[in-house]
């Protein structure tokens, strides 16, 4: 079943999504959260940190698994997703470092890293709630258009459009890694609940295609139509082409 929550703007979207995540933490303090990077979830993490600071949230038993990481970037690189997660969430709450999992982009054997990451998720008992953003081409994690829906954690070649979209964070487009390690769509779809956040007019068209169009690997997010517990929180601009209350 798909639930859609409409938000007025980015701030409202962030607050509504943070509410859903914090409810998950409150009902199951040792839950496994699947976390995402990108600009979209930054406001959610800021809200969770604010509630933690007010003593309304406790991360002591929370476990996390992140979606993806650039191949070749160490955690010390400011553009790595390790760095992002530390900056935006992990260094600001009482989560245990041993409970935090992010695929490594610098393992000597990347194929082994993929298998081990998948094992970690299984050993944790699977993901209770997976947070997702959506790329401008409909990608989720780093599963680019054309990705097979059944894949597990694997290495991908980034689409040119993704390299273009993400170059804003790097000094120069040549610095953007060409490859990434990502949970596959098969991994994501096994999460018990999925929460996607989308904002902005520039994603309105692809969001409409993803949620109301054909389910096709050309729009990776379209698979979410088939997830049994999928929630979207999006702002007015992103929902502007859809008829949603
Ligand atoms: C990256 C991440 C995705 C994210 C996407 C959208 O490619 N791998 O997980 O959803 O960016 O990013 P933004 O939220 O900045 O639009």
> In the numeric block, which tokens belong to residue 227?
């997830």
Q: How far apart are CA 124 and CA 211, in angstroms?
A: 30
pLDDT attached to residue 106: 97
Q: Is the pLDDT of residue 1 over 90?
A: no
pLDDT tens per residue across span 57-70: 999 999 999 999 99
3-state secondary structure the chain: CEEEEEECCHHHHHHHHHHHHHHHHHHCCCCEEEECCCCCCHHHHHHHHHHHHCCCCCCCCCEEEECEEECCCCCCCCCCHHHHHHHHCHHHCCCCHHHEECCCCCCCCHHHHHHHHHHHHHHCCCCCEEEECCCCCCCECCECCCCCCCCCCEEEECCHHHHHHHHHHCCCHHHCCCEEEECCHHHHHCCCEEEEEECCHHHHHHHHHHHHCCCCCCCHHHHHHHCCCEEEEEECCCCCCCCCC
Question: What residues contact 219, with CB distance under 8 A and at least 6 apart?
Answer: 138, 145, 206, 209, 210, 213
**Centroid of ligand 1 to alpha carbon of 56 (angstroms):** 28
Average pLDDT score over residue span 1-21? 96
**Centroid of ligand 1 to alpha carbon of 218 (angstroms):** 17
Q: Is the pLDDT of residue 104 over 80?
A: yes
Q: How far apart are CA 10 and CA 237, in angstroms?
A: 10
- CA count, 13 A, side-chain hemisphere, 180: 25
Confidence of residue 47 (pLDDT cuts 50, 70, 90): very high
139 is catalytic: yes
pLDDT attached to residue 26: 97
pLDDT attached to residue 142: 95
pLDDT attached to residue 244: 79
Q: Is the pLDDT of residue 234 over 80?
A: yes
Mean pLDDT taken over the chain = 96
Average pLDDT score over residue span 195-210? 98
> In the numeric block, which tokens belong to residue 132?
């997702």
68 is catalytic: yes
144, 154, 227, 235: which one is catalytic?
144
The arrangement of strands across the sheet holding 230-235 comes to 2-7, 230-235, 193-198, 129-132, 32-35, 63-66, 100-101
- Ligand 1 pocket, 40 CB below 6 A? yes
Residue pair 32/124 in contact by the 8 Å Cβ criterion? yes
- Ligand 1 pocket, 162 CB below 6 A? yes
- Ligand 1 pocket, 183 CB below 6 A? no
Beta-bridged to residue 157, according to DSSP, are: 179
pLDDT tens per residue across span 134-150: 999 999 999 999 999 99
From 35, 37, 69, 180, the mutation candidate for ligand 1 (largest count of ligand atoms within 8 A of CB) is 37
Which ligand 1 atom sits nearest the alpha carbon of residue 200? 16
Average pLDDT score over residue span 216-228? 97
| Among the listed residues 97, 38, 41, the one whose alpha carbon sits nearest the alpha carbon of residue 64 | 97
Confidence of residue 193 (pLDDT cuts 50, 70, 90): very high
pLDDT tens per residue across span 122-133: 999 999 999 999
> Locate tokens 């096994």: which residue?
190
Of 47-51, 167-171, 195-199, 208-212, the poorest mean pLDDT is in 167-171
């Amino acid at each position: 079943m798909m639930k859609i929550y409409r938000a007025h703007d980015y701030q409202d979207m962030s607050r509504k999504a943070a509410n859903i995540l914090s409810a998950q933490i409150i009902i199951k303090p040792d839950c496994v959260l699947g976390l995402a990077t990108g600009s979209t979830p930054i406001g959610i993490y800021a809200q969770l940190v604010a509630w933690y600071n007010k003593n309304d949230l406790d991360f002591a038993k929370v476990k996390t698994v992140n979606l993806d990481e650039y191949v070749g970037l160490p955690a010390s690189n400011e553009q790595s997703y390790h760095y992002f997660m530390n900056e935006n969430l992990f260094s600001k709450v009482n989560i245990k470092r041993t409970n935090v999992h992010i695929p490594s982009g610098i393992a000597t054997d990347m194929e082994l890293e993929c298998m081990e990451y998948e094992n970690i998720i299984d050993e944790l008992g699977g993901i209770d709630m997976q947070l997702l953003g959506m790329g401008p081409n409909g990608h989720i994690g780093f599963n680019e258009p054309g990705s097979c829906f059944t894949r597990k954690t694997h290495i991908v070649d980034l689409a040119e459009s993704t390299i273009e979209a993400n170059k804003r964070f790097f000094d120069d487009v040549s610095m953007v890694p060409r490859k990434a390690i990502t949970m596959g769509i098969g991994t994501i779809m096994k999460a018990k609940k999925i929460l996607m956040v989308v904002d902005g007019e520039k994603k309105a068209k692809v969001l409409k295609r993803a949620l109301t169009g054909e389910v096709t690997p050309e729009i990776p997010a379209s698979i979410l139509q088939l997830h049994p517990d999928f929630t979207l929180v999006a702002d007015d601009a992103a929902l502007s082409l859809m008829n949603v209350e």
